[in-house]
A and B are shown apart, each in its own frame.
Chain A
């Protein structure tokens, strides 16, 4: 066997923050094989970024040896840096330089001669489809384009080892698919070795090898199969015609012996602790329990399924947590209103000549989880901001909870909760202070405030962190806090803008559990997301592109349109990409 492209031998690294010392990596030994794609997977705070930075000599290890391409990184960092390509998490682009200027800069820095340059540029621009945009400032590119430009910049001088730190975070599925296609091509054509860290577990399956990291320790290294194979016999699909998939999931996850229950397409995917399904005879059917009483669920369909890397990941890392559903009891007087709670009729939003949203209409019923899907720049965020009253519509009618947003935005706002894409609470205030402030900002009285804050602390398990500054919370807790703050005033509608972007799979599961509980209690939820598998949680959704609605319906309806012999059970991602591609075929001018 040839020398590994990257080799870590017992590497430790800790950081001092104030008085405490945080261990980021603890005696990690890994190797990345030459000419292969190695995935680096782990929850937040596992040490993925630290590992990448150590590999290129940006950090010094406390202990251990690191060799990249057979060169000792400690001894000859410059030599390593001239043969390794590294794309940091934020792509390292100069936003006030144009695409071409960024390429020129990195070509100069990598010492690529002028004679080779032109050919290389053409190749890269063609590969990344950035050719038409060379004069555009990098800051004006969409997230997916930035990511491809960042990749192009690291590839100007063909490296022998490519390190990519979470390259697909915050990038839409089409761009993600394109990025992986580029990586595959590079590995095939140039025999490149790639180390890529990612939060998307389904991407792990595309890697030749996967390194699993948690809290600074290596939990394992091997092919994706080597992880999933031991799970064989522990994974099942469950479904029932008499019980909604979300309620089935909620009930299943409360059963001991079931590690994980997630919605997977139209079914619920279950991972068990042992190689058989535990006793699930207590499941009850959906229905008018007041009249008929709870009835046994008798039509449950159970089929074993192929284990995936994700199953192994969850089984390895998930700690049993008490069910959170109890905290979201149905609310008093939450009688279903007949009409839609959100109604958008021919909404438009212009910025100068540019239409961010053109002529969009949809309705959302009370208690629904309604999804807004689309690539970057599709107009989701603009639509969202209009519905929250943050941005007035240029034309059209928007009604939220019975209030016309044009006339009574403040009244409408008092009935909705909003959770922004980026963590946006006050980082210098403690958890308790944040909650207190938002409770008062929503005008809760003293008694009510106390009561709601107690509820929030309990329902989101924040009590232990009450005095911690919110900026110092782990990412998953930040997201809990943000959601708690948005729910203090018991809103009728909750707006979630990319709530799970950059959040690891474990935290995402917990998050959806709470969302399910909320929806069950009668709160209407409007959500935008990049994770296509999450779209399956929605009751209904719209898919947007270039400010227009491409499709509206239930997830089942959406997927049904793309069922074919080649694709017997299309995923939401297939449906989404299919829709976008159809649109581009029909608009030849754009596709060029």
Chain B
């Protein structure tokens, strides 16, 4: 690298850093927004069912029904409410006061003692299908536990033919926070990499400084590197902040190597910056750049990356699209490194995909950028 190149690069990087420090909206996008998102997702959002309000309708209370309802009261998943008749409970379900009804009819004890299939009616509000499924699973769990303990009390041997013995790996407590918070890092880095970078370049076009920059003897790759490095540092800063908050504030385990995580993040950051620079070759106003970045990078990183929604369950054409979403590979790496540990085949395969995308995006950005105004 010649002295003049070094001098130009240093000048550009210093300028960019000063601008970042002086522009509150850069800082807001790079640090305040991530913290807000992390707090919201860490504390506010949870897919686990907790304290689900359940109406317990017991038409004829006795010792048997009491043992059943007792099982609900003990479960941490439910907040049971008692009702005397089914009509009242149905009203409560319609009025959104409860999410499910568990109904023990007046012949419950008789049929239970007669030894056969006393029916327990379960009505649930199926509007939120996901929550309904999860609640159903919990109700089944309560029911099975109760069946076993009731049989034991009664001294009956009522072995269930097949008993499921689940073992959930990597997240035994099934806490949704543990996968939401790491996935969020991909979103945050997309924000700084693609959105902020493309808007900052667009700002130079809007203010006419790009023209002045271009008539200096600077080379185009120097301009690109001058933009890349400061925002790379900013993005990695956001990543470190997010990891620190994930581990120390939210208690998400980091089972894999921190260095592998940093390496993969650096790779993703470069992909993200590549997308940002590519957007900025098309968009010359901040408004357009922001819109393109939102639609082309942020939303896909949210919905199509496997961050929340299972990719293998999407329709085939959409699954196909997910392959060109870089966040898909990064989310897989994040969730693996945080929760499963150093599983090199997963990490390396996805890093390989990111590497390919990095070459493509940075290469395209380099090709499309010209030191010209038309």
Contacts and interface: CB of A to CB of B under 8 A. Distances in A.
Any A–B CB pair closer than 8 Å = yes
Contacts of B207: 90, 95
Contacts, number: 93
B4 A111 contact: yes
Given A94-B19, A109-B12, 17 more contacts: A56-B215, A57-B215, A88-B215, A90-B208, A92-B209, A94-B15, A95-B207, A96-B19, A96-B23, A97-B22, A104-B14, A105-B14, A106-B11, A109-B8, A109-B216, A109-B217, A110-B217
A390 interface: no
Interface of B: 3-4, 7-8, 10-12, 14-15, 18-19, 22-23, 207-209, 211-219, 371-374
B14 A58 contact: no
A241 interface: no
A115 B326 CA distance: 47
Interface of A: 15, 53, 56-60, 77-78, 81-82, 84, 86-97, 101, 104-111, 150, 153
B38 to A, nearest CB: 28
A153 B15 CA distance: 14
Contact of B211 (A58, A82, A94): A58
8 contacts: A57-B371, A84-B215, A91-B212, A92-B211, A93-B209, A97-B15, A109-B8, A109-B213
Nearest to B210: A92
Nearest to B217: A82
B372 A81 contact: no
A56 B18 CA distance: 28
Contacts of B8: 108-109, 111
A86 B214 CA distance: 10
Contact of A92 (B10, B23, B212): B212
Contacts of A153: 212
A86 B217 contact: no
B18 A101 contact: yes
B7 A53 contact: no
B216 A110 contact: yes
B11 A108 contact: yes
Contact of B217 (A15, A58, A78, A87): A78
A15 B374 contact: yes
Nearest to B19: A96
Contacts of A84: 215
A111 B217 contact: yes
A57 B374 CA distance: 11
A108 B4 CA distance: 8
Contacts of B22: 96-97
Contacts of A58: 211, 214-215, 371-373
Given A59-B373, A96-B23, A101-B15, A108 B208 contact: no
B218 A109 contact: yes
Nearest to A78: B217
Contacts of B213: 92, 109
Nearest to A77: B371
A104 B372 contact: no
Contacts of B218: 109
A15 B373 CA distance: 11
A139 to B, nearest CB: 10
A203 to B, nearest CB: 22
B216 A106 contact: yes
Contacts of A101: 14-15, 18
A88 B214 CA distance: 11
Nearest to B15: A105
B200 to A, nearest CB: 12
Contacts of A53: 211, 373
Contacts of B214: 58, 81
